[in-house]
Amino acid sequence: MAFLISLELAKPATHVYHYHSAGWLRECAKWDDLHRRFIVSFMGGGVGQISVPEDHSPETVLEEVQVINDVDLTGNASLGLVIDRSGIGSFWHVVGCDEKSFADDVAVDAEGNAYVTDFRANKIWKVGEDGKLVSIIRSPLFTAKEWYKNLGGLNGIVHHPDGFLLVVHTFGGSLFKIDIGKEGDHEVKLIKVSGGPLTFGDGLELLSPTKLVVAGNNPSGRLVESSDGWDTASVVATFNGPRHRVATAATIKDGKVYLNHLLGFGYPKKKHALVEAVFSA
């Protein structure tokens, strides 16, 4: 306890947006530049917003306001979310299947199709803009050879502007490139990552077409770069933030990377942290 207190009292090395919340766990956060707010997902089910005024002072603790509280989410978790031109697209840990599953993260393509990773069964659902299942993407590459690396599988996912998906396998540390076929014919490739593996990789965010941010733990963030269209890649820099809070997602605000952290501390209000990631080689 004394160690945690000392970590909390230490002066942050980079800029931090602190905000008060009623919950302990916040899995994902994305910046909505049109409305100057962070959108956050509740592990207990639901979605909140943290508005950031133009004259915000770093010393000011912001306040979270719940904006979605769906009774159907009771007992389940809200995990990955994505913001697109049409609004907020989010997928919950509530997915109907003939097998056990764990919907974790989501990306949206230019046509409005959503791609949802299954952390437990190592597959990806393709869901149309009408909310109906289109297809399921599977590959033997999604299953690690060691059984214990499949305890936590496909997780963070992003849609690249060139029309393919990038997906990370949390326990296996692998990064995949998925070329999206027009007729459901998807080609899955294992990206050779030097400086890897990306073990404990969680949320992903593209900083540019050639640079990918991988949030996780130990380190809190990795900057991965590719010069050949993501056939190969390299870990070029890392960032170590407050590891005791556990980084789970990344977002871009004003060209800067901010890492969402899972754990909040304090009572009765819990204080959460969105930490700027300043990468170094």
CB atoms inside a 10 Å sphere around CB 215: 32
Give residue 163's pLDDT.
Answer: 93
Which token pair is 92?
Answer: 């919950």
Question: Is 255 strand, coil or helix?
Answer: coil
pLDDT grade for 204, boundaries at 50, 70 and 90: very high
Cβ neighbours, 10 Å, residue 11? 5
19-36: average pLDDT = 95
**pTM to 2 decimals?**
0.91
**Does the CA dihedral 108-109-113-115 come out positive or negative?**
negative
pLDDT at 130 over 90: no
| pLDDT value for 70 | 63
Q: Is the pLDDT of residue 253 over 70?
A: yes
Mean pLDDT to the nearest integer, 120-133? 91
CB of 52 closer than 8 Å to CB of 38: yes
Query: If you average pLDDT over every residue of the chain, what do you get?
Result: 89
Residue 2, SS3 per DSSP: helix
Q: Tell me the pLDDT tens digit for each residue of 207-220.
A: 999 999 999 988 99
What is the percent of the chain where pLDDT is above 90? 68
Q: What percent of the chain has pLDDT over 70?
A: 88
Top-confidence residue, 154 or 130 = 154
* pLDDT score, position 58: 86
Whole-number pLDDT of residue 186:
86
Task: Give dist(CA 152, CA 172) in Å, integer.
Answer: 8
Question: What integer pLDDT is reported at residue 91 of this predicted model?
Answer: 44
Position 1 scores a pLDDT of 62
Query: Residue 95: what pLDDT?
Result: 34
Q: What residue has token string 């530049």?
A: 33
Distance, CA of 68 to CA of 218 (rounded, Å): 32
Kind of pairing, strands 37-42 and 26-32?
Answer: antiparallel
| Main-chain dihedrals φ then ψ at residue 125, nearest 5 degrees | -90, 135
Q: Which helix or strand (DSSP H or E) is residue 238 part of?
A: strand 232-239
Tell me, what's the pLDDT at 75?
56
Listed range (26-35, 62-71, 85-94) with the worst mean pLDDT: 85-94
Q: Is 5 helix (H, G, I), strand (E, B) or coil?
A: helix
The answer on pLDDT for 230 being more than 50 is: yes
Question: Which tens digits make up the pLDDT trace of 76-107?
Answer: 778 899 987 654 444 433 333 475 678 899 99
Query: What mean pLDDT comes out for the span 144-155?
Result: 90
For 265, counting Cβ atoms within 10 Å of its Cβ (0-12 exposed, 13-18 middle, 19+ buried), the class is: middle
Residues sharing a CB contact under 8 Å with residue 26, sequence separation 6 or more, in sequence order: 40, 41, 42, 43, 48, 260, 261, 262, 264, 272
pLDDT digits (tens, 9 = 90+) for 164-201: 999 999 999 999 999 987 666 789 999 999 998 999 99
Looking up tokens 């949802």 gives: 116
- pLDDT at residue 134 greater than cutoff 70: yes
Q: Is the pLDDT of residue 9 over 70?
A: no
> What average pLDDT score do residues 110-121 get?
92
